[in-house]
Each structure stands twice: as structure tokens, then as C-alpha cells.
Amino acid sequence: MILLGSTGSIGTSTLEIAERFHIRVEALVAGSNIALLKEQILRFQPCYVCVATEEAAKELDHPRVFWGEEGILEVIRRASSAIVVNALVGFLGLRPTTVAIEEGKTVALANKESLVAAGAFIDPAYLRPIDSEHFGLWYLLNGRTPERMTVTASGGAFRDWPIGKIASATVDEALNHPNWSMGAKITIDSATMTNKLFELLEARWMFGCERIDAVIEPKSVVHALVEFRDGATTAQMANPDMKLPIAYALMQEVEEPILPPVDLLEVGSLTFRPIDPERYPIWRIKEDLLAHPERGVVVNAANEVAIGKFMAGRIPFGELSKLVIEAYERFDDAVPRSLEEVFEIDAAVRRWCETAR
């Protein structure tokens, strides 16, 4: 396999599965965590390596080192592996997804932004879901046609905060996820509920189901629910660990334990809460965005700029969703007709957001 994002949490879990099931790692692509990447190179002996910059590449003792976005694409084109695990964070992951598909490779997809920004131009037949929610939906469908789909959300760092305090929350507070440790961007997206909005768009493109929603399930034991035409609703439950969806994405069939099963007596009870737009203002555009899913590129671009501003102390937490919603309303006619227009709209939205606040 080709692994994009090898030093992140999904990347390291993927390598655990690869080692356990003797899956050859042909290429490792990482960002700036060179120390960990060096350990991975020694352990897995990849044919190709790619890092973020030329300076970082000079730190590696490997005969085939590439860098930057062009380096990622070159690795995908050169490598013979049939599967690409895309665990890159952000819009950077889009080109690798589309190039992998052009090369006839299957993409085990953890990069949300690929489908959020360009779902209209990506063939889902080439995709296997790694996100636990989309894996849960896939696991439940089993070839059947759904009537309605629901994914669950943890609620993020501020699910139990007084609403009046959230707007002034600090970066450290936004990164204090109640259930697990993830990268900074996805943790902040969890706090604003933007990541769940993205997951609805992903499910819309991946499964072709227009009736989809999300609810908060604080214990993160139930990941997805599917309602069928006969009135039955099925739920996928598992202890929260990405190794289960990764194993299926890599091998399609798994015949041995990956995780310990859920102990219902230990769980005790489950509760489900609606996603309140007062607590999560981004939820106000949910219905319109699902009706116009091609406009996901606007939301993604604005969100990435807003997070950058928040992390740098340029805007308070309460301005994050406001900036995204303002961009969504301003670029209300931004509907890409081609993949290249996706990149053009992305650039235009970013330029506007940089000077908007």
C-alpha cells in the first residue's frame, strides 16, 4: 500500500494493521514529524518516501525521497500498489485522491476534504471508508438500499459547557476533547460540529443517500444507524478505535478479532441528543448545504482559513462558524462545473476569508 499521512494517528494505526497482517508498505508520505518518519522507514523499508519540504527531505537517508504536493503525486504514479490510504489532513488531500483514482488505484479514504470539496467529481466505486461513521454505514448496508442514514457525534469539547461561555473559549480549551486525542484541526472541527457537517456531505456522495442526519451520542459507542424501508433500524456499535475500519479498508474481509467487543453491561446506558444550532451555529446551514452539496468547497475553504486565524489568535472561537457562514452566503453562486473549478473557487474563498475579519 501507499500510506499518505503516516505519522498521524490514523497513519500509525494503519501501520499497526499492516504489520499484523503482513501488508507491504511501498510508500510512506509524512509532513514534518521527521523523527517518527525515520523510525517508520527503518521498520517498514518503503521503496518511496515523501515529506513536506525539500529541507525536510535532506534530513532523510533514503534513495528515493520526494517532497511537496508534486512529490506526493509522483509517488502515487510511480508506486505499483493497488491501494492508497489517504490520511492527509485538509484540502491538500484532494489531488492525491483524484490522481490515485486516475491511476486505477483504490483509495482507503480518511481525508474528509476530498469528498466535501469535490464529491461531484470523485467516483465512489474507487473508495473504501476509513472514518468510523462511514465505515459503520457501509457495514450496515450490506448491499441494501437505505431509507435514512444517521451518524453520531461525540459533541466535542463544549458539548456540556454553558452556551454563553463557548464564544470566548481558548485554543487549549477547544483542543480538550472529552473522548479521545486527535489532531488539532479535527478536534476543533469537532468542537464546532463542522466535522459532522462534513461527514454528512461525505455520506451523501459516498452512498447516494439524500436523507441523512446526525445526533450526539456522548459515549462514542454507536457510530452509525441505518433505517430501512420496512421500518427496521440497525445500529453499528464498536469500541472507538480506528483499527477496525482500517483493517476492512485494507482487506475487505476480516476473520479474526481486531477489537474487544462492546460490553453492554459496562456501557450501562446510551443517550442521544439533538445537535443544537445555538451551541453549534454551523448547523444552521446543514439543510441548505445538503440540498447543494457541490458548495462544500466553499465551506471547507472558509473553515480552513478560520481555523488558522483562531489558532493564531486572530479571531475568537465564536467567530469561527460566523466566518464560515458569511463565506457560504457570500459565495452562494459558487457551484463548480469541473475539478479545476473546485480549485479556483477554493482559492477565491480563501482570499476573501483572509481579509474578511
Read off the CATH number of the domain in which 20 is found.
Answer: 3.40.50.720
Mean pLDDT of 260-275: 96
The reply to whether 124 and 138 lie within a common domain is no
Is 310 a residue whose pLDDT tops 90? yes
Mean pLDDT of 236-243: 94
Q: How many CB atoms lie within 10 A of CB 308?
A: 15
Contact 127, 146 (CB under 8 A): no
Full DSSP string of 4-37 = ESTTSHHHHHHHHHHHHTT----EEE-SS-HHHH
Please state the domain count of the chain: 2
User: Residue 304 falls within a domain, yes or no?
Assistant: no
* pLDDT of the residue at 143: 86
How far is Cα 161 from Cα 336, in angstroms, rounded to an integer? 38
CA angle 207, 209, 215 (to 5 degrees): 100
* pLDDT of the residue at 114: 97
The reply to whether 141 and 278 lie within a common domain is yes
Q: Could you tell me the pLDDT band of residue 356, with boundaries at 50, 70 and 90?
A: confident
Mean pLDDT of 191-220: 96
The reply to whether 43 and 66 lie within a common domain is yes
User: Residue 328 falls within a domain, yes or no?
Assistant: no
Host domain of residue 61: 2-130
User: Residue 186 falls within a domain, yes or no?
Assistant: yes
Mean pLDDT, the chain, as a whole number?
Answer: 96
Cell of 85: 490510504
Q: Could you tell me the pLDDT band of residue 69, with boundaries at 50, 70 and 90?
A: very high
The reply to whether 137 and 126 lie within a common domain is no
User: Residue 108 falls within a domain, yes or no?
Assistant: yes
- Name the domain boundary from 291, 309, 337: 291
User: Residue 300 falls within a domain, yes or no?
Assistant: no
The reply to whether 147 and 272 lie within a common domain is yes
Is 226 a residue whose pLDDT tops 80? yes
Does the pTM of the predicted model rise above 0.85? yes
The reply to whether 106 and 141 lie within a common domain is no
The reply to whether 80 and 196 lie within a common domain is no
* pLDDT of the residue at 182: 75
* pLDDT of the residue at 339: 97
The reply to whether 145 and 254 lie within a common domain is yes
Is 179 a residue whose pLDDT tops 80? no
Distances (CA, A) of 54 to 57, 68, 70, 72, 94: 5, 8, 12, 13, 21
- Name the domain boundary from 100, 130, 160: 130
User: Residue 338 falls within a domain, yes or no?
Assistant: no
The reply to whether 20 and 123 lie within a common domain is yes
User: Residue 205 falls within a domain, yes or no?
Assistant: yes
Alpha helix ranges (H) inside the chain: 9-20, 34-44, 54-57, 68-78, 94-102, 112-118, 132-141, 163-166, 171-174, 184-192, 194-207, 243-251, 264-267, 286-291, 296-311, 318-330, 339-356
Q: Could you tell me the pLDDT band of residue 178, with boundaries at 50, 70 and 90?
A: confident
Mean pLDDT of 271-299: 97
Mean pLDDT of 88-107: 97
The reply to whether 16 and 124 lie within a common domain is yes
The reply to whether 140 and 286 lie within a common domain is yes
The reply to whether 247 and 153 lie within a common domain is yes
- Name the domain boundary from 291, 306, 327: 291
User: Residue 308 falls within a domain, yes or no?
Assistant: no
